[in-house]
Chains A and B, each alone.
Chain A
Amino acid sequence: DQQVKQNSPSLSVQEGRISILNCDYTNSMFDYFLWYKKYPAEGPTFLISISSIKDKNEDGRFTVFLNKSAKHLSLHIVPSQPGDSAVYFCAAILTGGGNKLTFGTGTQLKVEL
């Protein structure tokens, strides 16, 4: 049972444009969400997070939006850069559950020149 889903396995965007990566979850008890970026042969790197009491969090080029009623979150990257090409994972935490992360399946982002 995949509780966190990223329905787009891949996304291709032109340099300078906006990249929008989507994530859906089924467990309404999740109350904290994170985005990680992963390059091949490396571990995931933390990007940005959001608490369920917020609907937006921004950090530089990265903004995460949370729609609790729709159980949906998205990561916006603007402007997209070639170095952003990587696999992006969203993850969810159930506070009080020992900080365990439940990951989505990932979206391969390719930023083209």
Chain B
Amino acid sequence: GAVVSQHPSRVICKSGTSVKIECRSLDFQATTMFWYRQFPKQSLMLMATSNEGSKATYEQGVEKDKFLINHASLTLSTLTVTSAHPEDSSFYICSASLDRGPNQPQHFGDGTRLSIL
């Protein structure tokens, strides 16, 4: 069964709206979660590393004021796309590792398809 739950699966909204995406680890505590973005026919690009109780670490080129990440508990990380515009339309996906050790496979949520009109 799924170990990472992501919600919502699909969002369609008007330009200028802020959209919040939730990522939950099921039955395990995730001190670190990851947020990715995927454009059509491209690879998953890491946006940021979400750290419980501290600020997220953003990858180069990702606007931290645009993509707000909050990791308030050991089982929940949220990504808020603020004042979304059509160019923010994409597939957003989160992941978490079951184990804190190195090289542990990440388990992914089912992703959120965001469409900004």
- Which A residues form the contact surface with B (CB < 8 A)? 2, 4, 9, 32, 34, 36, 41-46, 49, 51, 89, 93, 95-96, 98-106
Interface size of B as a range: 20 to 34
Return chain A residues, CB-CB under 8 Å to B102. 32, 95-96, 99
Given the complex of chains A and B, what is the CA–CA distance between A46 and B95 in angstroms? 11
Whether the Cβ atoms of B43 and A100 lie closer than 8 Å is no
Known: A32-B103, A42-B111, A51-B103. 7 other contacts (CB 8 A): A41-B9, A42-B110, A44-B44, A99-B97, A101-B46, A101-B95, A101-B106
Q: Which of B97, B108, B113 contacts A44 (CB 8 A)?
A: B108
Nearest chain B residue, comparing its CB with the CB of A102: B46
A46–B23 CA distance with the chains assembled, in angstroms: 18
Residue of B nearest to A6 (CB): B43
Q: Which residues on B sit within 8 Å (CB–CB) of A102?
A: 46
Query: Does the CB pair A93–B103 fall under 8 Å?
Result: yes
Is B77's CB within 8 Å of the partner chain A? Answer: no
Q: Is B107 in contact with chain A by the CB < 8 A criterion?
A: yes
Binding site for A on B (CB under 8 A): 4, 6, 9, 32, 34, 36, 41-46, 49, 57, 93, 95, 97, 102-111, 113
A49 and B103 contacting across the interface, CB-CB below 8 Å: yes
**A43 touches which one: B41, B97, B111 (CB < 8 A)?**
B111
CA A13 – CA B46 in complex, angstroms?
31
**CB within 8 A of B4: which of A9, A43, A101?**
A43
Tell me, in angstroms, the Cα distance from A47 to B97 when the chains sit together: 14
| Chain B nearest CB, measured from A6 CB (Å) | 8
* 21 A-B contact pairs sorted by A residue (CB < 8 Å): A4-B43, A32-B102, A34-B105, A41-B9, A41-B110, A43-B95, A43-B109, A44-B44, A46-B106, A46-B107, A49-B103, A89-B44, A93-B103, A95-B103, A96-B102, A98-B49, A98-B57, A101-B34, A103-B36, A103-B45, A105-B42
Contact A2 B110, CB 8 Å, known A43-B4, A100-B49: no
A45 contacts B44, C-beta separation under 8 Å: no
Which of A4, A41, A43, A98 has a CB less than 8 Å from the CB of B108?
A: A43
